[in-house]
Amino acid sequence: MKSLKYLAWTATGLVGLGLGANSVADDKDEEAAWSGTLDTIVVTAERREQRLQDVPLAVTALTDSTLADRQIVDPQGLERAVPGMILIENVSAPTNFSVALRGSVQQDAALVVAESPVGFYLDDVYLARLTGLNTQFLDIERVEVLRGPQGTLYGRNTLAGAVKFISRQPGFEPEFRGEAGYGSFGSYRLGASVSGPLGQSDTRGSLALMANGTDGFIFNQAIDQDVRSQRNWGMRGRLLFEPTAALSVTTTVSYTDSRNDGWSAIPAMITTDNPRFSSGDLQPVFGVYDTAIPRNPDLPPPLSPLPTGDTHQWIASLALDYQLDGSTLRSITAHVSTDDYFANEFTGLGFFPGANGSETRQWSQEFQWLGAAGAWNWIAGLYGFRETADQFIALVTDDVISVATNSFAIYGQVDYAMSERWSVTAGLRLGRDEKDFDGQIRVLGTQEPLSPVYRLSENDTSLTPRLGLEWRPMVDNGPGTDLMIYLSAARGYKAGGFNGIAFGNPDVLQTSYGPETNWTYELGLKAEFLDRRLRTNLVAYYNDISDLALGAQTEGPGGVSFPVQNAGDARIRGLEAEITVAPTRDFQLFTNLTVQRGRYTSLNPASEAAISEALFGSIDIPQLPDYALSAGFTWGFDLPTLGDWARLTLGADAYVTDDFFVAVSNEFRIEGYSRYNAFASLDLPQGLQLRLAGTNLGNSKDFISGIAAFGGYVPLPPREWMLSLSWQHR
């Protein structure tokens, strides 16, 4: 492993050269406040519109053009663009993933009892389940990733951060967008959207449709065909009604349908006797992308003859904004409905089939009062949330669980500008979680009980304050120069929960885990120099975590079980950097960097973490690499042979990460790996664009997760390419 000291020195050198950030927009902001190269990016990280450089938070902002240039087509791709974030495909279905950020981890995303340390939002609607979330983006205008506790304004389950997907609003002028693409492994992508006024001038609407799929990059030798196929489609409709200058009503409905071959385990042998092994110690039985799962029609329901997956999700919301004199009243009402089924085989050889099915229904209501008066800015709100969910997990046994969650909160935050240079922020949220759980173990494929119905309840109250101080050392700084230094302290809260993967161990269903909390202290710098040709956003943080909740692996009467435990307390220190340099309007370099170190300060003696420490002598916090770096460029120029009617843009990026342990046991370590991507696009008249893009150009073969107890592992995709044609007309 490279030394952390050497990496920090190298990164400092890169920063000094100005190899910059991932929040570069599409170079079309012709009405910028001053002339320069980098665009002004407007975000809603604090629930109101602000320039990215004015937000005293660690925020990564990615416009739609940046997402395209970085080849980020789904949420999992954000890992390459957000400092410190890890998004690993779950051992469940391609539409799920595990998320980790700044030491907090979720590893049971497929369960309806799971609680994520990072909140995910679509147009300010909280998505409690990560199930079905990892599908390709549909009509997205930008993505904002807030790092660090966001409990004051966003609530429970944002102790590590929040991810906001903001979809495109219908405009005043008619607009049409279309895209068609085809690539390796039979992959395809189709999309179309239309928006504009509807009859009366007070009504606008939009409709977006997408379909994508692939034949898969895994070959199943037992049935002699490619697997890991996906067939997805989705739609989003939006109606914006503004009957008066003061009132705005927005109705949005989204639907996604995802069908796939489930999770394809790659069978591999461990080539070392060391109880700790790495991804480099794995020897695939057939090949990195080969499995051998036979069709088994004799499996009892709910198991499936072959791995498969099917997810359906509806999201409906109603947002009302009413403008008062100097303030706004806002209401956000939402419903989310998700039905999910997947069947897998966990060894890659047909020895260990399993299945999962869930139904979740979520309702939420939020009221906000936002305003500004003189030196004051404020937001106050009320929030209510209810979720009901039922699920079965069929493997050794059939574990049947249900959970009902009611959550309520009241919150407020005030910003006060004491002078041109100094301002302060203070906020507080009071929340209450009430959760009820039923769980039973049954004989696989029957309704015959193996245990009584266990009923548990958990009620928790949380306080999540935020304090901040901002300083602008240069007020009359001239055009193209901006500098802000901020200091903040914030508390985060992730709800406690219950366990569902018992597999014949009744103790697991009778055990709950408590909330995870943290205090995070940040010192940040946001700066633009050289007539807005250099943007430097840096943050140093200290994260003090209590009752870190981690997935564990334990032995019980029925074999291996996977409960979540409060492993103990931990501290993480880190430095995150996002920097952009644009020597010319046509050429931009970007990078983001994370350097971090974490350690447990105390361990729960009964936890798997304590058992592993006794076995190995020392252990690391899972999914916390010492460093990760992403860097690249975009370069556009007019083709001299074709005049000014065609423009060629070239771009490339690289992602490099240090090694890290997958789970709390520290049994399986992922060796550091790198990925290289590139694209070339040709802009033609009439809004046409032709693009050729490739990922993993080095065709690196890397395992990213798996379960040693089953012998099945997950590889990252091989080299892939796609050729696409898009059209935009206004």
The answer to whether residue 535 is domain-embedded is yes
325 exposure class (CB count in 10 Å sphere: 0-12, 13-18, 19+):
exposed
Q: Of 338, 336, 331, 321, whose CA–CA distance to 365 is shortest?
A: 331
Parallel, antiparallel or unpaired: strands 86-89 and 97-101: antiparallel
Dihedral over Cα of 562, 568, 569, 571: its sign: negative
- Give me the amino acid identity at 441: I
The answer to whether residue 463 is domain-embedded is yes
Strand-pairing partners, residue 524, are: 486, 539
The answer to whether residue 202 is domain-embedded is no
CA max distance for the chain: 78
Q: Of 66, 71, 57, 13, whose CA–CA distance to 655 is shortest?
A: 71
Q: What is the pLDDT of residue 334?
A: 98
Q: What is the pLDDT of residue 29?
A: 40
CATH number of the CATH domain containing 469: 2.40.170.20
Given its phi and psi angles, is residue 503 left (phi above 0), alpha (psi -120 to 50 degrees) or beta? left
- Give me the amino acid identity at 370: L
pLDDT over 50 (residue 231): yes
- Tokens at residue 633, please? 């460029």
In the three-class reduction of DSSP (H, G, I as helix; E, B as strand; rest coil), residue 248 is classed as strand
Kindly report the backbone phi and psi dihedral angles of residue 539, in degrees, each rounded to the nearest multiple of 5, phi listed first: -150, 135
3-state helix, strand, coil in the chain (%, to 5): 10, 55, 35
- Tokens at residue 559, please? 């074999």
Range of the domain at 483: 32-162+221-729
The answer to whether residue 16 is domain-embedded is no
Q: Rounded to whole angstroms, how far apart are CA atoms 639 and 642? A: 5
The answer to whether residue 170 is domain-embedded is no
Model confidence band, residue 92 (pLDDT cutoffs 50, 70, 90): confident
Q: What is the pLDDT of residue 479?
A: 54
The answer to whether residue 9 is domain-embedded is no
Q: What is the 3-state secondary structure (H, E, C) of 127-174?
A: CCCCCCCCCCCCCEEEEEEEECCCHHHHCCCCCCEEEEEEECCCCCCC
pTM passes above 0.85 = yes
Contact 215, 233 (CB under 8 A): no
Q: Rounded to whole angstroms, how far apart are CA atoms 350 and 449? A: 26
The answer to whether residue 641 is domain-embedded is yes
The answer to whether residue 708 is domain-embedded is yes
- H/E element, 17: helix 4-17
Number of separate domains in the chain: 1
Q: What is the pLDDT of residues 365-379, one digit of tens each?
A: 999 999 999 999 999
Kindly report the backbone phi and psi dihedral angles of residue 215, in degrees, each rounded to the nearest multiple of 5, phi listed first: -80, -15
Q: What is the pLDDT of residues 524-553, one digit of tens each?
A: 999 998 888 999 999 999 999 999 999 998
Kindly report the backbone phi and psi dihedral angles of residue 111, in degrees, each rounded to the nearest multiple of 5, phi listed first: -90, 140
pLDDT over 70 (residue 25): no
Higher-pLDDT residue of 21 and 124 is 124
pLDDT over 50 (residue 33): no
pLDDT over 50 (residue 626): yes
